[in-house]
Amino acid sequence: MAEVAEEDQHLAEIRRAAARIRGHVRRTPLLRTDLSPTLMVKPESLQITGSFKARGAFNAVLSLIEREPDVTGVVTHSSGNHGQALACAAQAAGLRATIVVPEGVTPAKIAGIRSFGARVVTEGVTYDNREEIAEEIARSEGLPLIHPFDDWDVVHGAGTVGLEILEDAPAPGAVVVPVGGGGQISGIALAFAALWPQTAIIGVEPDGADDAARSLHAGTLQSLAADPATLAEGVKSKSIGLRNFDVIVGSALVRDIVTVSEDELKNALRVAWMRLKLAIEPTAALTLAACLTGRVPSGSVEHPTVIILSGGNFDPATVAAILSRTNP
Amino acid sequence: MAEVAEEDQHLAEIRRAAARIRGHVRRTPLLRTDLSPTLMVKPESLQITGSFKARGAFNAVLSLIEREPDVTGVVTHSSGNHGQALACAAQAAGLRATIVVPEGVTPAKIAGIRSFGARVVTEGVTYDNREEIAEEIARSEGLPLIHPFDDWDVVHGAGTVGLEILEDAPAPGAVVVPVGGGGQISGIALAFAALWPQTAIIGVEPDGADDAARSLHAGTLQSLAADPATLAEGVKSKSIGLRNFDVIVGSALVRDIVTVSEDELKNALRVAWMRLKLAIEPTAALTLAACLTGRVPSGSVEHPTVIILSGGNFDPATVAAILSRTNP
C-alpha cells in the first residue's frame, strides 16, 4: 500500500509538471513510420532546445521559483543537452544560469549554451571534477544546483513524456528509453507504473557504458571504471543517480536494460535518417538499435513498441561520416 | 459566380479525396521549431513512401477503382517519388503498376519502386521520351496512365495537405510550396481559395528551373529549354501541366513564385537537418531556402508562414557532402 501511495504521489507531481511546463515546451507528436507497423516513435529531437531535457529543466526552474521567489540564478554541470535546456529555461524565467562544461567540449555546444545568455565555466573543468566544481560555485554564490538527472523535479519533468505517450497510444506493449543518468527512464517509468503498469519499460545503453544494465541485474549501484568510448555522448554518466536507482532498481519499475554495440548504433543512425526521416543525434539512436537487433519486443499494431528518440543535437561532421559510408 | 462554383466543386473533390485516402496515408503533424516562432513546418517527408506524392497516388488509384472496378493495372513515368507512391498505392489496391524510369537513375530509387512489387521499365528511356513511352505502354496494354501532376485526382489528393494545415493553423499568413509540375501547389491553392483565400500561396523553384515563375509572370505557359542542373531533383519537369496552369495562372490562385540559388538550397538543407531536425531531401529545402533568404513574408505568431517540406527520399552521399562542409 505504501508503494502504491508513493506512485500516486509521483504521478501527481508529473501532472503538476505537465501543467507547469505547458506553453514553455512543445508537445511532440507520436509518429508511425514506414519501418514497421508495430513501431511508434516519440521524437524528442523536435522538442525545444533539441532534446527532452527541456522538460526537466523547465520544471526544475519553474518549481524553484514557486518555492523560492527571490532566487536569482541556477548552476549545473553538463557538456550537452541539459546545459542548453537549463540555460533556455533560466533565460525564459529571468534567472542567471551558470553551466560548468569540461574543457575541450566542441565550440558548437558552448555556443549553443551561450545563445541563451548563460555563463559558461570551463577553466580547469574535466569530466571527473565537473560536479565538484559546480557544487563549489553553487555554494560560494548561494545558488541552487540543478542536477541533470538525480533531482525529482527533473525526473517529474521527464515523466511528462510518459503522459503524452499514453494520450496518443493508450496501451503500448513496451516503451524503450536511452539510459545515461536515468532521469528520463525513471520519469517515464513512474508515469506508466501509476497509469498503465502493463507496459514494459526498457532501457538501452551502449555496450561500453553498461553501468545501469549491470546495476539492474546486480541489484546494487554499479559504476563505469573510466570515461566510456561511445558515439552516444548523452549517456556517458558513470552511474545512475540515487533517486533514479530507487525507481529503476529499488521499485523494480524498469523491466530490463539492454545494450548495443557501436556498429549497431551507427547502423541505427543511418536507418533513423533514411527510413524514419528524422535527423537525430547518436544517443537517440540507441533505442532504434535495440529494436533493429531484436533486443526489445517487436510489439503489435494494437500494442506497439514506442521508442524515445531523445535528441537531435548532432555534430554534422560525425553525421556526414556515417551517412557517406556505403555499407552501414 | 461561375468561378466560385468551380472552387466549391474542387473543394468537394478534395474533401472526398481526404475521406478516400484516410487510413492509407498518414496525417502529418504541423510543427513549430526553434528556428522562428512565426514559422510552421508541414513535414510531408514523414508521409508514407517519404513524400506528399502518396496522397495523389492513393486518390488516383482508389478513384480509378470506383469508376472502373475491373481495372487491373496502372502506368506512369517518374524517376522518383511519384513512381514509388503509385507503386505503393497500386500494391495496396491489388493493381499491377508499371513505372517508366529513365536509364541511369540511381539503383536505390529503382529498388524503392520494386519493393512495392511494381514493374520498372528503363530500356531506352530518357527524360525526354519517358512520357511518350509510358503512353505507348498504357495504350498497348489498355491501362490508364496516372500522370504525376496534370491529373485532377492527383491534384485533389495533394489538396488534402491544405485541409490539414487549416485544421492545425486556422489562418496562416502564407503557405510556401515547392513547384515542379505544379500538382501540389494547385491542390493546396484550391483548398485555400475555397476555405481561407486570405492566405498567400507562394511557390518556390530553383533558379535553373524557373519555368513556373516565368509562366506566372508572363501569363502564358513557359518551358525549360534543357534538363536543369539542380540538386532539387523533384522539380525538374520542363513545364507545369495544363490543369496546373489553369489553377496557378488562369485562376490566379498563386500569389507568387520565387526562385533560389543552388547555394541557398544547400544552406537551407543544412539548416533543415541541424535546426529543424528533419532529414529531408534537397527538393524539400526549397521552401526553407525561400524563407531564410527573405523571399517570402516572415509571418507572425497568429498568422505564421507555413512551409511544406515535400519529401525525405535523399541520396545519403549528397547529404553527407553538404553536411560536411564547414561553411555552408
Contact A46 B33 (CB under 8 A): yes
pLDDT for B206-231, tens place per residue? 999 999 999 999 999 999 998 899 99
pTM of the model: 0.96
A78 given a catalytic annotation:
no
Q: How many residues does chain B have?
A: 328
In the set A45, A63, A78, A79, the catalytic residue is A79
The alpha-carbon gap from B50 to the nearest alpha carbon of chain A, in Å, equals: 8
- AA identity, residue B303: H
| From B29, B33, B274, residue closest to A29, measured CB to CB | B29
The alpha-carbon gap from B287 to the nearest alpha carbon of chain A, in Å, equals: 17
* Spans of chain B, pLDDT less than 70: 1-4, 326-328
- AA identity, residue B203: G
Contact B278 A280 (CB under 8 A): no
Please list every residue in chain A whose beta carbon sits closer than 8 Å to the beta carbon of residue B32: 26
pLDDT for A211-220, tens place per residue? 999 999 999 9
Q: Give the pLDDT of residue B120.
A: 96
Instruction: Round to whole Å and give the CA distance between A322 and A309.
Output: 18
Strand order across the beta sheet in which A119-121 lies: A73-77, A96-100, A119-121
Q: Give the pLDDT of residue A108.
A: 79
Question: Is residue A178's pLDDT more than 60?
Answer: yes
Q: Give the pLDDT of residue B326.
A: 58
Instruction: Retrieve residue A16's grid coordinates.
Output: 503538476
Instruction: Find cell 521499365 and name the residue.
Output: B121
In the set A53, A109, A236, A266, the catalytic residue is A53
Please list every residue in chain B whose beta carbon sits closer than 8 Å to the beta carbon of residue A274: 279, 314, 316
* Alpha helices (H) along chain B: 2-21, 53-67, 81-93, 107-114, 130-141, 152-168, 183-195, 211-218, 242-245, 262-271, 285-292, 316-323
Distances (CA, A) of B242 to B179, B211, B212, B250: 14, 13, 12, 10
Contact B236, B204 (CB under 8 A): no
| Mean pLDDT (whole number) for A115-133 | 93
In DSSP notation, A63-104 reads HHHHH-TT--EEEEE-SSHHHHHHHHHHHHHT-EEEEE--TT
The alpha-carbon gap from A224 to the nearest alpha carbon of chain B, in Å, equals: 31
Instruction: Round to whole Å and give the CA distance between A229 and A209.
Output: 8
A53 given a catalytic annotation:
yes
Instruction: Round to whole Å and give the CA distance between A224 and A239.
Output: 7
Confidence of residue A3 (pLDDT cuts 50, 70, 90): low
- Hey, how many other C-beta atoms are within 10 angstroms of the C-beta on A10? 23
Instruction: Round to whole Å and give the CA distance between A62 and A42.
Output: 24
What 8-state DSSP symbol labels residue B299? -
Question: Is residue A106's pLDDT more than 90?
Answer: no
Question: Is residue A1's pLDDT more than 50?
Answer: no
Residue A268 CB partners (closer than 8 Å, separation 6+): A260, A285, A286, A288, A289, A292
Please list every residue in chain B whose beta carbon sits closer than 8 Å to the beta carbon of residue A26: 32
Cβ pairs A/B, distance under 8 A:
76
Question: Is residue A310's pLDDT more than 70?
Answer: yes
Please list every residue in chain B whose beta carbon sits closer than 8 Å to the beta carbon of residue A319: 273, 320, 323
Find, in chain A, the residue whose alpha carbon is nearest to that of B280: A277
* Helix-helix angle A183-195:A152-168, to 10 degrees: 50
Q: Give the pLDDT of residue A159.
A: 98
In the set B79, B215, B237, B310, the catalytic residue is B79
Which residues of chain A approach chain B closer than 8 Å at the C-beta? 26, 29, 31-34, 43, 45-46, 48-50, 270, 272-274, 276-280, 312, 314, 316-317, 319-321, 323-324
Instruction: Retrieve residue A31's grid coordinates.
Output: 509518429
Please list every residue in chain B whose beta carbon sits closer than 8 Å to the beta carbon of residue A52: none
Structural domains of chain A sorted by starting position, each given as residue range(s) with its CATH number in brackets: 2-50+151-323 (3.40.50.1100), 72-141 (3.40.50.1100)
- AA identity, residue A194: A
β A39-43/A31-32 pair status: antiparallel
| Range in A157-171, A253-267, B102-116 with the lowest mean pLDDT | B102-116
Q: Give the pLDDT of residue A4.
A: 56
The ipTM (two decimal places) reads 0.95
Q: Give the pLDDT of residue A79.
A: 74
Torsion A187-A191-A192-A193 (CA) sign = positive
Find, in chain A, the residue whose alpha carbon is nearest to that of B281: A277
Contact B89, B54 (CB under 8 A): yes
